[in-house]
Chains A and B, each alone.
Chain A
Amino acid sequence: MKADVGAPVTKAGVGELLRLPPFGRKFGGAAEYVVIPALALAASLILFGIFVALFGKNPIDLYFYMYQGAFGTWFSWQNTLTRAAPLILTALCTALPAQLGMVIIGGEGALLIGALCSTSAALAIPDAPPLVVDFAMAAAGMAGGGLWIMLSGALRHYRGVNETISSLLLVYIALAILNYLVEGPMRDPTSLNKPSTREIGVANMIGSIPGTDVHWGFVFGIIAALISYILIYHTVFGFAARVAGGNIRAAKVVGLSVGKLILIICFLAGAAAGLAGMMEVAAVQGRTNANLAAGYGFAGILVAFLARQNPLAVIPVAILLGGIGASGGLLQRRLGLPDASVLVLEGVIFVMVLASDTLYGRLSFFRAKGS
C-alpha cells in the first residue's frame, strides 16, 4: 500500500489494512454484525483445533469431519436441520423476553409443560380428525408453555422476583409434574419399564417435510422467528417493548403499560417453547415420557445469546449448533474424541462471541472515513 502525500493521517491497525472505503461507508454498520461473529467463530475453531492437536489428533481431520458430519452430504444436512428444529423455538423463549431486558432461562420447563398439554389435548379427543387433533395440540402446547413462562413474568412484575431464578426453578417443577403424571395418573399401563403416557396415534403424527427427514418443527420454527422479528422491529408493540427494555422508568413515564408488555412477551416466549414441546410429541416421540427432557430448552439459551437475542439471527445460529451436534458423532467415531469435546467447542464459541462484543464500533474498517 502506498500512502498518498497529504492524505489525512488515520489510525493504523487491522481495520486500516482491510479498509474498503466504499463498502465500509455504505454497509459498515450492518456488515459489522456479520463479520464480527464470523471472526469469533473462526477464532473458536482455531482454538478448538489447537485443543484437539494437544490431544494428538490432526486438526485438519477435525475440520474435515466437522464439515462432513454437519454439511458434507445431503444426509448430514438433514441431520443438522433436524437437530436445529427445536432449538429455533426454544431460543425464542430467551430472545423475546431479552427485548425487555429480562433473562429467561426456563425454556426447558415450558417445553415440558407444552408437551404434556399437547399430549393431553390429543388424548382428550381421540376420535377427532387428525387436522383438528394437531391444531388442538398446538393450541394447548402453546397455551401451556405460554402460561408457564408468564408465571415468571408475573412474579417479576407483581412480586419483584428475579425472573432468571424463577424460570430456572420452574424447570424442575415442570420436570416433577411431568414425572408424576407420566408415572401416575397419565401412565399407559402397558408401558412397563419406560413409564409413558398413551400414544397419540400414528394418524395424528405430523410427518416430515416432503423429500426430507426433517420434521415440520423446522418450518414452524422459522415462521415463529420471522413473526417475532416483525413483531419486535416493525410494530408499535415491539417498539414499546424495546423502549421498556432500554429504560423501564422512561417507558413508564411516557405511559407505556410495562406490566402488560411483560406478560404478553413472556407468554409469547413460553408459547414458542411450548410449540417445540408439541412438535417433539407430534413429530418425534408420539407420546410424553422422560425422553422429552433432552435439554433443548437449555441449548436454546446458548442459541439466543449467540444470536445476540435477535429473533432472525436465531435461525442460522440454531443451524450452526445443530451442525455441531450432528458432527459430534462423527468426531467420536472417527477421531475417538469424547462426547464432551463438542461441549468444549460450544463453550469456546460462547466465550468468543461474548468477548467479541467489545469489538463493535472499534474497527475503523466499518466506519466511514473521518467519522
Chain B
Amino acid sequence: MNFDKISRRGVLKGTAALTIGSALPLSSALAKDTTVGFIYVGSRDDYGYNQAHAAGAAALKKMSGIKVVEEEKVPETDAVEKTMESMINLDGATLLFPTSFGYYNPHMLKMAVKYPKLRFEHCGGLWTEKDPKNAGSYFGYIDEAQHVSGVVAGHMTKSGKLGFVAAKPIPQVLRNINAFTMGAKLANPKVTLQVIFTGDWSMPVKEAEATNSLIDQGVDVVTCHVDGPKTVVENAARRGAMVGGYHVNQAVLAPQAYLTGAEWNWEVLYPRFVKMFTSGETIPNFYRGGLKEELVKVSPYGPMVSEAARKQADEVKAGLTAGTYVIFKGPVTDNKGKTVIASGVARGQTDPELEKMDYLVDGVIGATS
C-alpha cells in the first residue's frame, strides 16, 4: 500500500465514518473500552464542587480499559440533555455522571428513559422507586466532616465568633451549618456562629463582601458552603482570619490560615462504581455514606491547629468512622428556642427527617428566610 497517497482529507473522511459508525450498536459492541461521561456545571478548576468531581474523574483515568470524557460549564437546561446524548452518540459513553443538582429532574430522568440500556448516576438527587431503574443517585454525608471541622474551629477561635458564608437556606446547607456549629460547641459551649446567605451557588462578589463583613464583626474563623470556596478562603486569609475549607482541600490557597476542611472523596467512590459497572454488578440506585463509607474526608490539620483540638477532633472522627457517634442527638433546640429534636431521640445519618431540615440550631445567628 502506498502510504503517500493517504491524504489528510482521506483520514478525516475515515474518522468521520468511524465516529458516525460508533453510534451504531454494531461497532460499540466491538469497542473494548468503557467510556464514562462527566458533566460539570462550573469549571473543573474552581477549587470547589466541580473540582472535587473532576478529581474523581481523574482517578478513573488511571484505570485500564476506561475512557473518560468531560464537559464543563453545562447549564441546567436541555443543554445538559444534549450533552449527555452527544457523549452517548458521538463518544459511545455507557455510564454517565451528570454531577450538578439541577441536572436530575427532569433532564437526567428523561435521558434514562430514552436510553434504558445505559447507566446514569447523579450526585445529590433523591432516587425513588418511581424513577427509572437505570438511574441512580449518590451523595455523601459531608456534615460529618463539617462537624469535625467545627470541633477544630471551636478550639481555635479566640473571639468565640465563627462565620459561615452559605448559598441558600436549603436542607443540605442548613445541615452543614448546624453540624459545624454543634461541633464547635463541643469544644467551646459559648461559641456563636454568624451565617450569611448569598442567595446563589456562585456569587464571588457577594461571597467576598460576606466574608469581609463577618470579619468586621469580630469573626476569626470562617467557613462556607458555596460552589467555589476560593473567594472566601483567600479573602479570610488576607484579613488574618482562620478558615475551614469545603468541597476540596484549599490549603494551597491559604497555607497559614487553613485549619482543616470538609472534603468529598469521589476519588474513592467513582472507581468503586466503575468496577461494579464493568463487572456487571448493579450499582445501588440509592447510595449514601459518610466518613465510614469513605465518601467524604477531613483535610489534614493545618500547622497552627493545637494539640487539644487535634485530639478532640480525632476522637469525634473515630466515632463517626466507626459508626458509633450520632451528630443530631436530642435534645437539640433551634435558635428561636424551639425543641427540634427531643431529648432521647437520636437521628442517625440515614434518618429521612434530616433531609427536610429547615432550622438553625441554638448558637447560630441568622434566619432561614
A33 → chain B, closest Cβ, in Å? 31
B334 at the interface (CB under 8 A from A): no
User: What 1/0 flags go to A186-200 for Cβ under 8 Å of B?
Assistant: 000000111100000
A295 to B74, CA, bound (A): 12
B75/A291 in contact, CB under 8 A:
yes
| B86 interface residue (CB < 8 Å to A) | yes
Q: Are B69 and A294 in contact (CB under 8 A)?
A: no
Contacts of B102 in A (CB 8 A): 194, 289-291
CB neighbours of B20 from chain A (8 A): 72-73
Q: Is the CB of B90 within 8 A of A68?
A: yes
Instruction: Check if B75 sits within 8 Å of A295, measured CB to CB.
Output: yes
A-B contact count (CB 8 A): 99
Q: What 1/0 mask marks residues of chain A from 207 to 229 whose CB sits below 8 Å from any chain B CB? A: 00000010100000000000000
Question: Are A338 and B72 within 8 A (Cβ)?
Answer: yes
Q: Which stretch in A91-99, A136-144, A245-253, A325-333 binds the other chain?
A: A325-333
B26 at the A interface (CB under 8 A): no
A164 at the binding interface (Cβ < 8 Å): no
Distance, CA A326 to CA B8, complexed state (A): 25
What residues of B have a CB within 8 angstroms of the CB of A215 in the complex? 78
In the complex, chain B residues whose CB is within 8 Å of the CB of A72: 16, 20
Q: Interface on chain A toward B: helix, strand, loop, or mixed SS?
A: helix
**Which of A64, A330, A333 has the largest number of chain B CB atoms within 10 A?**
A333
Interface flag for B15 (CB, 8 Å)? yes
Q: List the A side residues contacting B172 at CB < 8 Å.
A: 193
CB-CB contacts of B209-248 with A at 8 A, as 1s and 0s?
0000000000000000000000000000000000000000
Q: Tell me the residues in window 72-120 of chain B with beta carbons closer than 8 Å to chain A beta carbons.
A: 72-79, 82-83, 85-87, 89-91, 101-102, 104-106
Inter-subunit contact A330/B171 (CB<8 Å): no
- Given that A193-B170, A291-B75, A291-B76 are known contacts, is A68 also in contact with B16, CB under 8 Å in the complex? yes
The answer on a CB contact under 8 Å between A193 and B124 is yes
Please tell me the size bucket of the interface on A: 35 or more
In whole Å, how far is A295's beta carbon from the nearest beta carbon of chain B?
A: 7
Flag whether A60 is at the interface (Cβ < 8 A): yes
- Which residues on the A side are within 8 Å of B312 (C-beta)? none
Task: Say yes or no for A288: interface residue by CB 8 A criterion.
Answer: no
Known contacts being A75-B86, A289-B102, is A332 close to B71, with CB within 8 Å?
yes
Per-residue interface assignment for chain A, residues 283 to 298, with 1 indicating a CB less than 8 Å from any chain B CB and 0 otherwise:
0111001111011000
Q: Which residue of A lies closest to B102 (CB)?
A: A291
- Do B200 and A294 touch (CB < 8 A)? no
Determine if B369 is an interface residue (Cβ-Cβ < 8 Å). Answer: yes
User: Is the Cβ of B15 less than 8 Å from the Cβ of A64?
Assistant: yes
Beyond A79-B82, A330-B86, is A195–B77 a contact (Cβ under 8 Å)?
A: no
Asked if B12 is an interface residue, CB under 8 A from chain A, the answer is yes
Per the 8 Å Cβ criterion, residues 264-288 of B in contact with A are: none
CB nearest neighbor in B for A192: B171
* Contact A73-B90, Cβ < 8 Å, known A60-B12, A193-B171, A285-B77: yes
In the bound complex, residues from chain A placing their C-beta under 8 Å from that of B157 are none
- How far apart are the CA atoms of A285 and B102 in the complex, in Å? 10
Complex interface bits, A268-308 against B, C-beta within 8 A gives 1, otherwise 0: 00000000000010001110011110110000000000000
Whether the pair B82, A192 counts as a contact (CB closer than 8 A) is no
Residue of A nearest to B93 (CB): A333
A238 at the interface (CB under 8 A from B): no
Q: Which residues of B contact A329 (CB under 8 A)?
A: 71, 74, 82-83, 86-87
Cβ proximity bits A72-96 to B, threshold 8 Å, 1 near / 0 not: 1101100100110000000000000
Could you name 27 residue pairs across A and B whose Cβ atoms are closer than 8 Å? Answer: A60-B8, A64-B16, A68-B90, A72-B16, A75-B85, A75-B89, A179-B199, A183-B168, A192-B170, A192-B356, A193-B124, A193-B170, A194-B170, A284-B106, A290-B200, A292-B77, A294-B75, A294-B79, A325-B79, A326-B82, A329-B86, A329-B87, A332-B70, A332-B72, A333-B69, A338-B72, A339-B43
Nearest 6 interchain pairs by C-beta: A339-B73, A291-B76, A294-B75, A79-B82, A333-B69, A294-B77
